[in-house]
Amino acid sequence: MLQLNFIRENKDTVLAGLGKRYFANAETVVDNVLTLDQKRRDTQKDLDDVLAQSNAKASQIGALMKSGDKAAAEAAKAETAELKARSKDLAEALRQVEVELQAVLVTIPNIPHSSVPPGRTADDNEVMLEHGDKPTLHDAAQPHWELIKKYDIIDFELGVKITGAGFPVYKGKGARIQRAMINFFLDEALKAGYVEVQPPILVNEDSGFGTGQLPDKEGQMYFATEDKLYLIPTAEVPITNIYRDVILTENQLPVKNVGYTPCFRREAGSWGAHVRGLNRLHQFDKVEIVRIEKPENSYAALEEMSLHVQSLLQKLELPYRVLRLCGGDMGFTSALTYDMEVWSAAQQRWLEVSSVSNFETYQANRLKLRSKLEGKMQLMHTLNGSALALPRILASILENNQTPEGIKIPKVLVPYCGFEVID
């Protein structure tokens, strides 16, 4: 959530940033915020004045009674009662305007970083680099949804029987390579200085609000109605919320956490090869890295996170590219996002496997996540990234490494899974 003082002092910057996002009715919304903010401040001043008058009158009553001036004392009591009633009305008016102001503030997305390119859709994202050679497959090569049936390693029909579409069952070597990737990604993060946590996979409404999933994305999350808990769409939510309402000391910074969780997304289904097989699931596994940084260090941290994800892709020997997302394609809470995509040789297309983002103070303002630096309380910057999401990584491994004799496992995963080929 944007800070009120930032909007108040930087209206033109806010409007320019919202324009880069193609945010509808930006000027009307910002003017509404500023009007409500002024009303809030005026009401707060009136309330403070009335409370000060009430306290002053209350302090006079005892002296008037002691001096024997009962008439004046009774008059002061009456005035005090009127002031208390007025203060009650003003307090309620202040509460109402704060609720109205909050309801508008949460609809405003984060302001893009100056480096974010203009553009409305994914077609306008900036390709920053490509790495690796795209493999040439043999004539009988197949997409991964055919390979998993051929080698009997993932069963989508069984998942439909147990749960529904988008909930696959991994079997045999399919299950073992899943576990291998999870352990590999976690171990690589630990080597990079991240501290592992294992968070809950259900969160409450406060947690969803803290990281920006609520009220923006409630339709994309599974909701346990009886207990009013949400299944997490990503480990970003519970891990970042560890630090909700926390004041970090300077020697605790930076915070670097990593965690593995299953993730759940209700995303509306669509038809076509781009969502077949492992390309889009309702349940999938992911290793997430989360960082909390001093504001002056956060963009260097973002570059470091990008390089960490790239190192994983290099070790898996997967050709990939890095995109800088345009204003119209960025997530609601992000100030700058890099997407990493791997090449799927059988599908002849790029598949997104990771996003790393800097949210600056947007999440921290919701979370009330602060630190006292140089004697001043400051909001911290939060960052996170997929390192990595498993389904499309597995799809690319299966497709890119297929041979007539079987599917070769990347060398780095062999010690984790215990086999070199799926045959």
pLDDT tens per residue, range 96-152: 999 999 999 999 999 999 999 999 999 999 999 999 999 999 999 999 999 999 999
Q: Looking at this protein, which amino acid is placed at residue 209?
A: F
Q: Count up the domains in the chain and report the number.
A: 2
Does 175 have pLDDT greater than 70?
A: yes
Q: Are residues 95 and 229 in the same domain?
A: no
Q: Are residues 335 and 373 in the same domain?
A: yes
How confident is the model at residue 274, as a pLDDT?
66
Any idea what the Cα angle at residue 127 is, between residues 125 and 133, rounded to 5°? Answer: 140
Q: Are residues 85 and 128 in the same domain?
A: no
| Domain termination residue (choose one: 105, 133, 162) | 105
Tell whether 384 is in a known binding site.
yes
Q: Are residues 151 and 222 in the same domain?
A: yes
Does 270 have pLDDT greater than 60?
A: no
> Mean pLDDT for the chain?
95
Q: Are residues 75 and 156 in the same domain?
A: no
Q: Are residues 159 and 78 in the same domain?
A: no
Please give the average per-residue pLDDT across 43-56, as a whole number: 94
| Domain termination residue (choose one: 70, 105, 140) | 105
Tell whether 354 is in a known binding site.
yes
Question: What's the pLDDT tens digit per position in 194-218?
Answer: 999 999 999 999 999 999 999 877 8
- Residue 135 CB partners (closer than 8 Å, separation 6+): 319, 345, 400, 401
Question: What's the pLDDT tens digit per position in 367-419?
Answer: 999 999 988 999 999 999 999 999 999 999 999 999 999 999 999 999 999 99
pTM confidence score: 0.93
Tell whether 86 is in a known binding site.
no
| Domain termination residue (choose one: 105, 135, 154) | 105
CATH code of the domain covering residue 48: 1.10.287.40
In a domain, 80, yes or no: yes
**Domain range enclosing 415:** 122-422
Which of these, 353, 335, 322, 331, lies nearest to 127 by C-alpha position? 322
Does 269 have pLDDT greater than 60?
A: no
CATH code of the domain covering residue 140: 3.30.930.10
276 vs 174: CA distance, rounded Å: 17
What 3-state class would DSSP assign to 151? coil
Tell whether 33 is in a known binding site.
no
Q: Are residues 332 and 246 in the same domain?
A: yes
Q: Are residues 54 and 147 in the same domain?
A: no
Tell whether 266 is in a known binding site.
yes
Does 296 have pLDDT greater than 70?
A: yes
Tell whether 265 is in a known binding site.
yes
Q: Are residues 196 and 329 in the same domain?
A: yes
In a domain, 354, yes or no: yes
Q: Are residues 88 and 143 in the same domain?
A: no
In a domain, 111, yes or no: no
- Residue 226 CB partners (closer than 8 Å, separation 6+): none
Tell whether 267 is in a known binding site.
yes
108 vs 216: CA distance, rounded Å: 10
In a domain, 297, yes or no: yes
Q: Are residues 36 and 70 in the same domain?
A: yes
Please give the average per-residue pLDDT across 230-256, as a whole number: 97
